């Protein structure tokens, strides 16, 4: 008879952020039988994505030091998940939120953020996330006293959320067993903060940043750094390796995770797991085993509406 685990009692939805579970992906890398691959389920956060962590840290730090006050509107650029997190926290803490996002982000993300009462401002869909960054800076420059602009791409609280949260939780769960960590580059906060924490561990953990192989890609939320505005929090020298994953491989792995593991995840997560499989095959050849952790950024239900990049099946 299994022991009953006492449920946590929380004073606020914000207290539900973090302490997400790890799941072992058995059979995902058949050519690397000696390597364990774990997926950290960040969609278990109350806002449904890994972005709850940095949003919470940025908001709490800004309230603490007086940058975010009740008379100001929080505004930032986002492709969706950070916007959902900001919206949830604005509703929970009682401040207004406005988001600048490309007009072609998924309908689900528009609907979810607006359900919290958030104002949406749309940028040119052809300019992607970089266009949203340029537009939000223009809006803030024209009305500096009206807005609090956390700027997730340059805010040190973003990677700190992962240094103190994601990285610490991974080590608490796996300790010395972990040999590798990999995840995708977007704002880059997850890679930067988690890598810094894991690099401090002995034995040292190899940390790999994953980016789309193409400048024009279908891995929403990820950045092809060579063709993008590089986030100020990003340090290209910090990861031990930068691995390219194609849109097709990311989408294929998302389909596979749903069909074989019951994990209906987004395409950035598919790219993360595809990268973890490549690392596992290498670790099997080079050392005969290992333990790899990657991130499940969000669920696939935020991608059900058609996107600009669509797979075409040939039967």
pLDDT digits (tens, 9 = 90+) for 181-234: 999 999 999 999 999 999 999 999 999 999 999 998 989 889 999 998 899 999
Q: Is residue 52's pLDDT more than 80?
A: yes
Mean pLDDT of 103-130: 89
Q: Is 128 left (phi over 0), alpha (psi -120 to 50) or beta?
A: left
Range with the lowest mean pLDDT among 47-61, 115-129, 150-164? 115-129
- Residues 133 and 242 placed together within one structural domain of the fold: no
Query: Using CB atoms within 10 A of its CB, is residue 130 exposed (0-12), middle (13-18) or buried (19+)?
Result: middle
- Residues 172 and 35 placed together within one structural domain of the fold: yes
What is the pLDDT at residue 302?
78
- What is the distance between the alpha carbons of residues 293 and 170, in angstroms, rounded to a whole number? 8
- Residues 32 and 61 placed together within one structural domain of the fold: no
What is the pLDDT at residue 249?
98
In a domain, residue 291? The reply is yes
78 Cβ contact list (under 8 Å, min separation 6) = 86, 99, 100, 101, 132, 152
- Residues 167 and 297 placed together within one structural domain of the fold: yes
What is the pLDDT at residue 309?
44
% of the chain residues with pLDDT over 70:
94
- What is the distance between the alpha carbons of residues 104 and 90, in angstroms, rounded to a whole number? 24
What is the pLDDT at residue 2?
57
Half-sphere exposure (Cβ direction) of 93: Cα atoms closer than 13 Å: 24
- Residues 191 and 292 placed together within one structural domain of the fold: yes
In a domain, residue 315? The reply is no
CA-closest candidate to residue 152, choices 216, 202, 221, 214 = 221
φ/ψ of 223, rounded to 5, equals -115, 135
- Residues 70 and 209 placed together within one structural domain of the fold: no
- What is the distance between the alpha carbons of residues 253 and 68, in angstroms, rounded to a whole number? 40
In a domain, residue 204? The reply is yes
φ/ψ of 21, rounded to 5, equals -80, 160
Residues paired with 144 in a beta bridge: none
* Structural domain that includes position 201: 13-49+159-303
Range with the lowest mean pLDDT among 8-12, 25-29, 259-263? 8-12
Mean pLDDT of 35-46: 98
Written as six digits, the tokens of 186 are 């977007």
What is the pLDDT at residue 310?
46
pLDDT digits (tens, 9 = 90+) for 255-276: 999 999 999 999 999 999 999 9
In a domain, residue 189? The reply is yes
Range with the lowest mean pLDDT among 10-24, 36-50, 211-225? 211-225
CATH at 241? 3.40.50.1100
In a domain, residue 187? The reply is yes
What is the pLDDT at residue 108?
81
- Residues 22 and 133 placed together within one structural domain of the fold: no
Mean pLDDT of 241-260: 97
pLDDT bin (cut points 50, 70, 90) of residue 26 is very high
- pTM over the 0.75 mark: yes
Mean pLDDT of the chain: 93
In a domain, residue 192? The reply is yes
- Residues 165 and 139 placed together within one structural domain of the fold: no
In a domain, residue 256? The reply is yes
- Residues 111 and 212 placed together within one structural domain of the fold: no
In a domain, residue 6? The reply is no
CA-closest candidate to residue 58, choices 93, 11, 110, 19 = 93
| Structural domain ending residue among the three candidates 148, 176, 211 | 148
| Structural domain ending residue among the three candidates 113, 148, 183 | 148
**Does an H or E element contain 209, and which?**
strand 206-212
pLDDT bin (cut points 50, 70, 90) of residue 104 is confident
For the chain, the domain total comes to: 2
Mean pLDDT of 35-41: 98
What is the pLDDT at residue 305?
57
- Residues 79 and 219 placed together within one structural domain of the fold: no
- Residues 43 and 180 placed together within one structural domain of the fold: yes
What is the pLDDT at residue 105?
79
CA-based angle 222:225:229, to the nearest 5? 95
- What is the distance between the alpha carbons of residues 88 and 113, in angstroms, rounded to a whole number? 8
Q: How many CB atoms lie within 10 A of CB 10?
A: 10
- Residues 120 and 228 placed together within one structural domain of the fold: no
| Structural domain ending residue among the three candidates 86, 121, 148 | 148
CA-closest candidate to residue 217, choices 255, 183, 186 = 186
Q: How does DSSP assign 93-153, residue by residue?
A: HT-EEEEEEETTS-HHHHHHHHHTT-EEEEEPGGGHHHHHHHHHHHHHHH-TTTEE---TT
């Amino acid at each position: 008879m299994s022991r009953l685990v006492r449920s946590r009692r929380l004073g606020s939805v914000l207290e539900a952020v973090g302490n997400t579970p790890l799941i072992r992906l058995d059979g995902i890398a058949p050519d690397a039988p000696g390597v364990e691959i774990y997926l950290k389920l960040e969609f278990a956060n109350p806002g449904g994505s890994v972005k709850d962590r940095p949003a919470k840290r940025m908001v709490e730090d800004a309230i603490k030091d007086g940058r975010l006050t009740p008379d100001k509107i929080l505004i930032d650029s986002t492709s969706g998940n950070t916007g959902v997190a900001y919206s949830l926290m604005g509703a929970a803490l009682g401040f207004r939120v406005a988001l600048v996002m490309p007009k072609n982000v998924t309908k689900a993300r528009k609907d979810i953020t607006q359900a919290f009462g958030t104002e949406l401002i749309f940028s040119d869909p052809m300019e992607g996330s970089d266009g949203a960054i340029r537009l939000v800076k223009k809006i803030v420059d024209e009305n500096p006293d009206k807005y609090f602009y956390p700027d997730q791409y340059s805010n040190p609280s973003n990677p700190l959320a992962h240094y103190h949260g994601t990285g610490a939780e991974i080590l608490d769960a796996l300790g010395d067993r972990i040999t590798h960590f990999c995840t995708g580059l977007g704002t880059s906060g997850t890679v930067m903060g988690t890598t810094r924490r894991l690099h401090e561990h002995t034995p040292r953990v190899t940390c790999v940043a994953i980016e789309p192989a193409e400048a024009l890609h279908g891995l929403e939320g990820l950045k092809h750094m060579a063709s993008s505005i590089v986030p100020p929090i990003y340090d290209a020298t910090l990861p031990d390796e930068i691995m390219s994953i194609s849109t097709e491989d990311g989408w294929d792995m998302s389909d596979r995770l749903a069909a074989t593991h019951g994990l209906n995840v987004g395409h950035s997560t598919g790219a993360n797991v595809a990268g973890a499989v490549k690392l596992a095959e290498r670790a099997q050849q080079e050392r005969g085993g290992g333990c790899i952790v990657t991130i499940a950024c969000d669920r696939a239900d935020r991608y059900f509406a058609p996107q600009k990049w669509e797979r075409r099946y040939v039967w």
